[in-house]
Amino acid sequence: AAYKRHSEAAVPALCTAETPDEGFNYNPRHITDFLKLCSDSVKISIDRNGFMLLESGDGKYMVTPRKKAVIKEPKKAAKKKAA
């Protein structure tokens, strides 16, 4: 389920290829699952198509981009008319 959560961060980066102005979207759970396992620093590489490679002394993990999440408001229950 999509929640009203949003996170973004700017970090210094060496850019060798242009990427779209709107950036890329990822499932945050995939990234946090990897980070929870890491006990070392992490190197993040992203190619021009948005594929992200996370590398640390503990291993490597590939994260693929996804479509931008659409947050839908829950439907309100219809009120029943008293008979």
- pLDDT tens for the chain, 83 residues: list them: 455 556 677 777 777 777 788 888 898 899 989 988 888 888 989 888 889 999 999 889 999 998 887 777 878 776 666 65
d(CA 76, CA 83): 21
Residues near 2 by beta carbon (within 8 Å), at least 6 away in sequence = 69, 70, 71, 72
Whole-model pTM above 0.85? no
Residue ranges of the alpha helices (H) in 1-83? Answer: 28-37
